[in-house]
Amino acid sequence: MLPLLLASSSPYRRALLERLHLPFSCASPDIDESAHANETPEALCRRLAISKAQALADSHPQHLIIGSDQVAVLNGRVLGKPHTAANACRQLADCSGQTVQFLTSLCLLNSASGNYQCDVVPFSVQFRQLNQAEIERYVALEQPLDCAGSFKVEGLGISLFASTHGEDQNSLIGLPLIALCRMLREAGWQIP
């Protein structure tokens, strides 16, 4: 079996992959994550996952490379990572009472053959009505500045929701494990 490489510097994705009890290493891909003109959120998400995996193929031959990306979409508009508390508060105020769709892409690239599997896993979050004080307290407590949508579902972020819907709750954190397990089994890994 080819060794696994996670094409990410995300501690969230690394923690999710560790749950599978598989040996893997990590490397950070250096790609431009800007959207192309007229690119749909799903196409952007898919392209970025593939690009992340392909960016490490030359430096990691004979590997199975896992690339993943996530795009949050509110009323057709892509929400990026907020990077500042003020931006996080604005994003959460915009999301209040709204449904936000999270598209999490997954690519498993065989760097030896160049073949890959790719999937985009949707997950929807219905935010409850949030007041400004709740938003500010949440952002101050969790500092979700590196998270699309400005929340951490694995923490206090769950308190912001009225409901969630999707096939794999792990996709909301950034790595759809159900799809990854399927892809890895198809590549010859035994899970569990």
Domain that holds residue 144: 4-186
Asked if residue 182 is part of any domain, the answer here is yes
pLDDT reported for residue 192: 87
Q: What is the pLDDT of residue 70?
A: 93
Domain assignment of residue 137, yes or no: yes
Is residue 52 within 8 Å of residue 7, measured between CB atoms? Answer: yes
What is the domain-level CATH number for residue 74?
Answer: 3.90.950.10
Catalytic residues: 69
Extract long-range pairs of 44-50: CB within 8 Å, 24+ residues apart: 44/71, 44/78, 45/69, 45/70, 45/71, 45/103, 45/104, 45/105, 45/120, 46/105, 46/107, 46/118, 46/120, 48/105, 49/105, 49/106, 49/107, 49/118, 50/105, 50/107, 50/109, 50/116, 50/118
Q: What is the pLDDT of residues 82-108, one digit of tens each?
A: 999 999 999 999 999 999 999 999 999
* Rounded Cα distance, 149 and 177, in Å: 20
Tokens (6 digits) for 34: 């800007």
Q: What is the pLDDT of residue 121?
A: 97
Residue 4: what pLDDT?
A: 97
- For residue 191, being part of any structural domain is answered with no
Band of residue 1 on the pLDDT scale cut at 50, 70, 90? confident
Summarised one tens digit per residue, pLDDT across range 41-76 is 999 999 999 999 999 999 999 999 999 999 999 999
Domain assignment present for 192: no
